[in-house]
Amino acid sequence: MPKRKRSTRPPPQESLLPQKRHYRQRAHANPFSDHALSYPHSPHACDWSILYPAFAGSGKTPEFADVGCGFGGLLIALAPLFPDTLMLGMEIRVQVSQYVRDRILALRATSNTPSSSPGQYQNVSVVRANSMKFTPNYFPKHSLSALFFLFPDPHFKSRKHKARIISPTLLAEYAYVLRPGGIVYTITDVRDLHDWMRTHLEAFPLFQHVSEDDLRHEGKGAILDAVFSGTEEGRKVERNNGQKWLACFRRVEAVRV
């Protein structure tokens, strides 16, 4: 009796997931270009029920924001760990943001959860947005508990340093949307960029450095593990035996005089 050939078909879930090769785009985008973007005029104009239909009517708004979320690795890693926390990825590249959107929809469709549960990956979504210009348009004051800047564009040339995602002006906006006690997570494989981000965050009066050990002691080990290895960039650095530099900062209360 002839042997039955092993099927080369992918599992149903894999067959529904989008393929990156269909969403290829340049690695970086100029944040100062006039991108064709649609954005809310204020956070109160955001209809979160469109992005998180399972949470419609709950009054919940995003608590985690992944700035420059790339292909969505961090969101996908964290979603099952914090099922009741809404997370939003912000990505300026049109093809990449569409990939993340399609990836989330596919995961929602193929996740098996009890009927009483909102379902896996219902708590994550993505918007195409220029976070350097429009972060306060999405998030109310002190609404976020975590901001992620993972492997951002290093903009190596000095004349392009103004395009780096961490700067004194932008830190004022991040401090506005981050609640006291919230954490800014930064990681990069570029030492110069790490020094830049850490120096600017240390100089800003509303942020205070917090060590990895302290964060793990506070129960944030799962978040840190996702920061290190949950993204495509992080895994790429590991495959190339590269080094990663982490710097985390806590949003502190303003000192009144």
CA 100 from centre of chain: 11
231 labelled ligand-binding:
yes
Question: Among this protein's residues, is 102 annotated catalytic?
Answer: no
- Both tokens assigned to 76: 């996908």
From 153, 189, 213, 214, the catalytic residue: 153
14 labelled ligand-binding:
no
131 labelled ligand-binding:
yes
Listed residue (32, 23, 33) closest to 94, CA to CA: 23
- Both tokens assigned to 135: 């972060």
Expressed in angstroms, the distance from the first to the final Cα of the chain is 88
Quote the strand ranges of the chain, DSSP E.
64-67, 87-91, 124-128, 144-150, 178-188, 207-210, 245-251
Residue keyed to tokens 């210009």: 133
137 labelled ligand-binding:
no
- Ramachandran angles phi, psi of 249, nearest 5°: -140, 140
- Both tokens assigned to 111: 């996740």
Binding residues: 68, 91-92, 130-131, 150, 231-233
Binding residues for S-adenosyl-L-methionine: 68, 91-92, 130-131, 150, 231-233
Catalytically active residues are 153
